[in-house]
A and B are shown apart, each in its own frame.
Chain A
Amino acid sequence: MKNKVKLLLASGLASLVLLSPALADQMLRISYSEDPKTADVQMTTDFYTLPLNVFDRLIEAETTGPGTSALVPGLAESWEISQDGLVYTFHLRQGVQFHDGAELTADDVAYTFDRMLNPATKALGTDILDFVAGAQERLDGAADTVTGLKVLDKYTIQITLSQPYAAFLALMASPQASIYNRAFTEAAGDQFGLTPETTNGTGPFILQSYELNDSQMLVANKNYFRGAPKLDRILIRVVSDSETLRLLFETDEIDVFDMDYATSQTPYFYGNDQWKDQIRTGPRVGMYYYHINQAIKPFDDVRVRKAFQMAINREQILEKNFYGKGQLENGVMPRGLTCYEPATPIEYNPVKAKELLAEAGYPDGVEITLAQVSSWSSKWSDMNQIIQAQAADAGFKVKINTMDEAAYFAQRKAGAIDAYTQSWSADFNDPDNFFYTFFSDSGTKVRAFNNEDPEAFAAIDKARSMTDPEARCALYRDLGERIVQTDAAWVPLFSLDHSYVVQPRVKNFVVPWNGWSDMNYYKMEIAE
């Protein structure tokens, strides 16, 4: 009980700091819907705010405009790629310090990637290193080192791939490629990233406190190699209830409201005099889609899949459920992605869909099931209900089967799940991030598309190692047409804008190129 009192006193103080507007320092207050669990990006696949701000990468993907990005030097000042596309040599910036004062060296980079592949780490994000020579052996425990990682000198690291991979540079700019310090991280062991004491990076912000299920506080790294950030602190609060988040924003206890948590509030904010000028919006390099499992009847028949594509009035959903904030998509690639080009439109035509169903042997319509997850935002189940009503016109009798997230992923992994709707936004700016994820041999199974198309598998593999950008883009375009038009294996819906509402004191808020909620806050400012 005594501890409790102490804790309350301490948190009482924290709340004073938190609430006092007169405080001179620049603190940005943001929220997260769930506890991020760790700052160690190797141990997570979806909580990137801490890693993006506490660590740096060799290369960074910088947002250059709405939906566009460029790869710029990060911890690596420059790099060379060998003619055959196999050997990457990175020259590190000299004098970069970790938060604990240690200097960044090439050995740290080698250590970071070796740690990821070390089976003892039990890392989740290993797929970014799939192409590094010797990665598989290290993962399998057959080797103690990774042959493809070589320290040439104190500031030079050479990474050798087992086969050329066009997206490798882009991958090195993804959050999973954050760089750690060897001595510190080894000492922290499996506690790395879990507490301020066991977290150490080179990034613009330092993890100062971490209260599980409550908040994390980041403070500015005054020694940041690009110069100290404008913000003094960032408070990240864990707010799991979206109405509570909304009220926190309206009572000025949070600076940034991510409209993804309350899509339904779009008209309110756009129509509200207080907020309409405070909306920051940008395209999301991401795709909303319906998944179709070809292993489940009646979707084994391409005519039924085609009919399903045609039975959905995407325009109406975009307009009514997402308030028109986006654009229809017809391919596998969304706008903003390298190689993007508008694809052949899918037409909304319930009459034709009905004919197709009849042709496929279902003249009286056919029953299909959609899967959805109970804990996801209501926009998904709303969309399913709308589709349920729409597809009825074409003869689809839609049943909706709700399950919880753990069951969903287990069923999906086993390839046995019914059709579902989801979105995917780019981890790195390359078509491979979409095609490989959904239609490669392993992707199509683990996501339960079961689009067993050896030609597509071969094309995706081939595209990964192609070095001529134009030929590569052409290949992806053709592949997209094949998947969407010929095989009807994918139901593209639309790409949406990602909107935020910010308090007037927040300056320089830029929606990141990929439209993610997780972003780097280095350039943001607070001004009363």
Chain B
Amino acid sequence: MSVSPAMTTETPDVIEEPSLLRDTARAFARNRMALVGLCFVLILVCVAVFAPLVSPHDPYRVALDEQLLPASTTYWLGTDNFGRDVLTRILYGARISLVVGIVPSLISLLIGTFMGVLSGYIGGKVDFVIMRLADMMIAFPSLLLAMVVMYTLGANLFNIFIALALVGWAGVARVVRSQTLALKEKEFIEAARANGTSRATIMFRHIFPNVVPTLIVLFSLSIPDAIMWESSLSFLGVGVQPPEASWGLLISRGKEYLFQAPLVAIAPGVAILLTVLAFNFVGDGLRDALDPSMKD
């Protein structure tokens, strides 16, 4: 589904109090699932960064004599059809899946924010053109768009970033634009304008900081989205390429062994499941915490 998670995000009021951070942290901490999610994400990041240290085996070593071994004390989750340790592959897969989650989300956030603020603040023809562009991106079937990009540029990690950023920026731009429109009417912006502050400064110094809370929520919710997208691309064969491994690729390659060695496909699926769930909890927690309308 490409209905933007932002549709449910309320427009936050202007950040004025310095205690906001503390309030947010407190509100966030009240939400136990969000905390659990955050812990999971942090552990995952550590695992990903230190994959070579924590992995019991070499992820690329081909040992055809040890194909599809069941779980054992040597291979906790068994081995795949190349005799590679499934657990190690998953730990290394965490690196790629996280990068695939984070980098394209950042790029689409950057582009989307820039376009959104520009469109909302300047208005007129700029607004019209940017919004029609965004309309196009949103109306275009996303999976096809991503496939076209992958086919054109070739299947590798960097091009996945481009494909996913292209799919994602328009949603961000729309949300940011509507917030910018609301902010534009606020007194402190009008005051700045009256003071003769340049448009660029207003956009960067005054509007942007006020969009940040929304961006944080959008970011945390678009990471799991991107991870899922990559898995779809992997299923269609245009995602990360072996012998590298993303979780999506591990499932789509492992599923043919469901009968002989179910763990090869099930374990990376569980990894995606938990990670995506964790990010969603964190995102929901952040939104609840950052959104003043949610406070009693």
Please determine whether chains A and B interact with each other in the same assembly: yes
Q: Chain B 54-98 against A: per-residue CB contact (8 Å), 1 yes, 0 no?
A: 000000001011010000000000000110000000000000000
Given contacts A268-B260, A374-B155, contact A320 B64 (CB under 8 A): yes
Q: Determine if B256 and A404 form an interchain contact, defined as CB atoms under 8 angstroms apart.
A: no
Contact with A404, one of B67, B81, B151, B253 (Cβ below 8 angstroms): B151
| Chief secondary structure at chain A's binding surface | helix
When A381-B242, A382-B82 are in contact, do A243 and B255 touch as well, CB less than 8 Å?
yes
Q: Are B238 and A374 in contact (CB under 8 A)?
A: yes
Q: How many chain A residues touch the partner (CB < 8 A)?
A: 27
A274 at the interface (CB under 8 A from B): no
**B151 (CB) vs chain A CBs: closest residue:** A404
Interface check A262, CB cutoff 8 A: yes
Contacts of A385 in B (CB 8 A): 62, 82, 242-243
A388–chain B nearest beta-carbon distance, Å: 7
User: Is A374's CB under 8 angstroms from B260's CB?
Assistant: no
User: What's the A-B contact tally at a CB cutoff of 8 Å?
Assistant: 56
- Report if A404-B238 is in contact (Cβ < 8 Å); known contacts: A243-B258, A265-B259, A386-B64: yes
Kindly state whether residue A242 has any CB partner on chain B within 8 Å: yes
Q: Considering residues B64, B151, B241, B255, which has the most beta carbons from chain A within 10 angstroms of its beta carbon?
A: B64
Residue from B62, B238, B253 in contact with A378 in the complex, judged by beta carbons closer than 8 Å: B253
Are B151 and A407 touching (Cβ within 8 A)?
yes
- Shortest CB-to-CB span from B206 to chain A, Å, is 47
A321 to B237 Cα, complex, angstroms = 20
On chain B, the residues within 8 Å of A268 by CB distance are: 259-260
A389 interface neighbour in B62, B155, B236, B253, Cβ under 8 Å? B62
Q: Does any Cβ of A come within 8 Å of B114's Cβ?
A: no
Is the CB of A209 closer than 8 A to any CB of chain B?
no
- Whether B81 lies near A264 (C-beta < 8 A) is yes
Query: What is the 8 Å Cβ interface bit string for chain A, positions 398-415, against chain B (1 contact, 0 not)?
Result: 001111101100000000
What's the tally of chain B residues with a CB closer than 8 Å to chain A?
22
Chain A CB within 10 Å — which of B62, B243, B260 has the most? B62
B256 touches A242 (CB 8 A): yes
Whether B243 and A374, one on each chain, are in contact in the complex, defined by CB atoms closer than 8 angstroms, is no
Interface string of A218-251 (1 = CB under 8 A from B): 0000000000000000000000001100100000
Q: Are A403 and B257 in contact (CB under 8 A)?
A: no
Would you call B241 and A400 a contact (CB within 8 A)? yes
Say yes or no for B141: interface residue by CB 8 A criterion. Answer: no
- Residue of A264, A382, A403 touching B155 (CB-CB under 8 A): A403
A3 adjacent to chain B (CB < 8 Å) = no
| Contact yes or no, B155 A402, CB < 8 A | yes
B154 is an interface residue with CB less than 8 A from chain A: yes
Contact partners of B257 in chain A: CB under 8 A: 264
Known: A262-B256, A385-B243. A404 touches B237 (CB 8 A): yes
Bound CA–CA A320/B79 (angstroms): 14
Q: Does A316 contact B (CB under 8 A)?
A: yes
Q: Are A402 and B151 in contact (CB under 8 A)?
A: no
Answer yes or no: A363 CB below 8 A from chain B CBs. no
B→A interface (CB under 8 Å): 62, 64-65, 67, 81-82, 151, 154-155, 236-238, 241-243, 253, 255-260
Return the 9 tightest CB-CB contacts between A and B, nearest first: A374-B237, A389-B62, A320-B64, A402-B241, A402-B155, A264-B256, A375-B237, A404-B151, A243-B255
5 contacts between A and B (CB under 8 A): A243-B255, A265-B256, A385-B82, A401-B154, A404-B155
Beyond the given A375-B236, A385-B242, A386-B64, please list 20 additional residue pairs across the A-B interface where CB-CB is below 8 A. Answer: A243-B255, A243-B258, A265-B260, A267-B260, A268-B260, A316-B64, A320-B67, A374-B155, A381-B242, A382-B82, A385-B243, A386-B82, A388-B243, A389-B62, A400-B241, A400-B243, A403-B154, A404-B151, A404-B155, A407-B151
